[in-house]
Structure 1
């Protein structure tokens, strides 16, 4: 079963094609990553899923229901946020959720305490939101989404701007939500985050899908990682690599060497350096293999300027 399916989804803002014939499939009960640089069309796509932006072409099916002109009124079982959650800062977190529950109706108000507990905010629910950190506001956004007891959570950059502790908390929360059977579709421009959370990933560039598949399939396509290497004799180190076709060495910044090699080949090269009396004085992973693939997929001179798309999207949502 698919929690999300789009076919030929497209959106244009004036002369700018923000989303271009996107076919997206998200399986139920998974964490699916929507990956791409700023301006790739991720937020516009999510806004169309929520009915906040009307597509110019294509269809959207959420939890087996094809979305219509009803937009947000046809979103039973779906919750989340686009472009960050927002609340009344002068009200308490509880009062904000009470207002949202009243708007949603039904039994939403009975889930307020549970939502605070799941989001890890039970001890701070009476605090005014203006005193919340960015990470707490992100968790409050997820708590607000849980009022609808959703089967599908759509989260736009849920860890954007957070410190490492905040990122860790949000990742743990998302994992707990999927362990309970929910589907999570999250957008990100962070390859490491997607790798740690997601089983499948869709990569966008300039409004188009350039990769769709499992993380294992992505790893299989990824090029070798790159390393920054400082040695006692760079000239000899370069000469030694010349006899190893699986190890590519270029001159890097600050008199370092930039080495491209698979981990096993890099290990063998490092051992060979030592045996040749060439000391390794510094060693660091510059880019993982998945990060290298991400940049290969998404670096495009024709990409949509991020600020242009964001301005057009804000106007459309308003």
Structure 2
């Protein structure tokens, strides 16, 4: 049975007379990476601030590892680590002294745990250097080390790849997957990089105008959305033949798109050739999360 580490139920937030968050519900499971996506102003940051205890919900509940934030705040937050926006670090101190400073704020966290998280995030060789000499990726890793000091079960990362170059993004993605798969953490990731979310996350929640409109596994969201791109001649004749067999979309460049049906694709190709249509190229077009996102949000771009 899958263990639920974070449970959000009918969460609402009203500021003034405006309802910002309109009763959202979702769960995080142990050992999964959960993507939190939404266009600018959708309510992602407001939700995250409620999850980490920075602002209070108007109604609804947040439960972390069995403890409700509203009634057992210290116990709930003990199981939570987070980086909201950018990690706050002291650049004139070494990485070690930064972690030592934050460890002093936690009960029972000593140098042994600092050594553990330093090794976990791969900063062992540079931990005694001043943070101002760190690259952006190293600072992100140090920030995650800080969030992991208390040995939390849930980790919330707001835009963890923001500002990183492609190599840094790939490295961060691999590290987050490691934390989930090898360390058993539940990781909630807010991001505007849809291609990264597709590669990184097990499940995603898409939020717009304060409402979650879809929550599912990435695989299931994108299943049945694969297509085949056909390069054929003559186009009109080929289109007419395919339309008798399946739904057809004509692209601006003169190619055709059909669904990908593994049981029928060879038969469709055979039918085209049999009726004198030249098939010069067939490409399997894999679905992307960006297309689904734009479709679900009515074309609203992400922040």
Question: Could you state the TM-score of these two structures normalised by the residue count of structure 2?
Answer: 0.81
State how 1:256-295 maps to structure 2 within 5 Å: 257=255, 259=257, 261-262=259-260, 264=262, 276-277=277-278, 279=280, 288-295=287-294
Asked if the contact 2:6/2:28 (under 8 Å) is kept, the reply is: yes
2:241 counterpart residue number: 243
Decide which of 217, 239, 242 is 2:220's aligned counterpart. 217
Task: State whether structure 2 residue 90 is matched by structure 1 residue 88.
Answer: yes
| Alignment gaps of 5+ in structure 1 | 307-318
Asked if the contact 1:108/1:147 (under 8 Å) is kept, the reply is: no
CA distance in 2, matches of 1:148, 1:183: 15
More displaced 10-residue stretch of structure 1: 50-59 or 186-195 = 186-195
Question: Could you state the TM-score of these two structures normalised by the residue count of structure 1?
Answer: 0.78
| Alignment gaps of 5+ in structure 2 | none
Cα displacement string for residues 186-206 of structure 1 (whole angstroms, at most 9, x for unaligned residues): 222334333333333222122
Asked if the contact 2:64/2:76 (under 8 Å) is kept, the reply is: no
Superposition CA RMSD, Å: 3.3
Decide which of 135, 144, 147 is 1:145's aligned counterpart. 147
More displaced 10-residue stretch of structure 1: 261-270 or 287-296 = 261-270
CA distance in 2, matches of 1:267, 1:139: 49
Q: 1:134 to 1:120 in 2, by over 3 A?
A: same
Q: 1:68 to 1:167 in 2, by over 3 A?
A: same
Cα displacement string for residues 174-231 of structure 1 (whole angstroms, at most 9, x for unaligned residues): 12212222221222233433333333322212211111233343234x534586x8x6
State how 1:1-318 maps to structure 2 within 5 Å: 1-14=3-16, 16-68=18-70, 74-178=76-180, 179-220=182-223, 223-225=225-227, 236-237=234-235, 239-245=237-243, 246=246, 248-252=248-252, 255=253, 257=255, 259=257, 261-262=259-260, 264=262, 276-277=277-278, 279=280, 288-299=287-298
Q: 1:241 to 1:299 in 2, by over 3 A?
A: same
Cα displacement string for residues 50-75 of structure 1 (whole angstroms, at most 9, x for unaligned residues): 11122122111111001127757851
Asked if the contact 1:4/1:25 (under 8 Å) is kept, the reply is: yes
1:309 counterpart residue number: none
